[in-house]
Amino acid sequence: MNPVQARLDALEEVSVAIKQYPNRFVGFGSVPLSYSPGDVTLNDWVEKLVKEQKMKGLGEFTLGTGQIPLLEPIFKAASDYTPLPIWVHTFHPLNLKDIQELFLLTQKYENVPVIYGHMGGIHWLQTIELIKNAKNAYLDISAFYTTYALSLAIKQIPERTLFSSDFPYGDPYLNLQAVKGHTSSEEVADRVLGGNISNLLHL
């Protein structure tokens, strides 16, 4: 399969869904990881995502261990354009070293919002500790290991914790109830369940 064509086909699918239900869907756009730093064609790709496909961010990027450096050109392009949020899968097969490398990129491009998907997997505690002082880092709660992990994330970074369910692997209703059961107030629950992502994407 041609990886670039596969991404174009996927983008078209997402774009069609957004156009059909603009009041229900917002898209993040896929970007090939084969670009080198400073490649002008990457900027053209990102501009097409935003202007033609109406995407609000870049990702989800799912990498193997040791591949985080491949994201730097994406960070640079996102930094130059708006900037755009980047969503990165931080569950297996990434390990703690990979997540730490991602955090270094997060610090280097401090104007780029970075969403750590799936809470860092089994490394959720270290991930929360890393990103709680990085104002451009966000935590997606899908696939949380324990309700304690969810509770700690909400307490530590209530303004940067984002509801997600990873459907069909996770149950949206159960995650919704978990958030409601582990928040200190209705205001915090509203932030996690939609307010934070709405603010991030300027919806």
Average the pLDDT over 46-60 and give the result.
91
Distance CA(157)–CA(132), nearest Å, equals 6
- pLDDT band at residue 70 using 50, 70 and 90 as cut-offs: very high
What is the model's pLDDT at position 145?
A: 84
Residue 36, pLDDT above cutoff 90: no
Q: Which residues lie below 8 Å from residue 102, measured CB to CB, with a gap of 6+?
A: 68, 71, 88, 90, 94, 114, 116
User: Could you report the per-residue pLDDT of 137-171, keeping only the tens digit for each?
Assistant: 999 999 898 999 999 999 999 999 999 998 888 89
Residue 105, pLDDT above cutoff 80: yes
Average the pLDDT over 99-105 and give the result.
98
What is the model's pLDDT at position 56?
A: 95
What is the model's pLDDT at position 41?
A: 86
What is the model's pLDDT at position 173?
A: 95
Distance CA(150)–CA(180), nearest Å, equals 11
- Measured between its terminal Cα atoms, the distance across the chain in Å is 35
User: Could you report the per-residue pLDDT of 71-98, keeping only the tens digit for each?
Assistant: 999 999 999 888 899 999 999 999 999 9
Closest CA to 30 of 103, 113, 88, 111: 88
Give the global pTM. 0.94
Q: Please give the backbone phi and psi of residue 148, each rounded to the nearest 5 degrees, phi first.
A: -65, -40
What is the model's pLDDT at position 98?
A: 98
What is the model's pLDDT at position 197?
A: 97
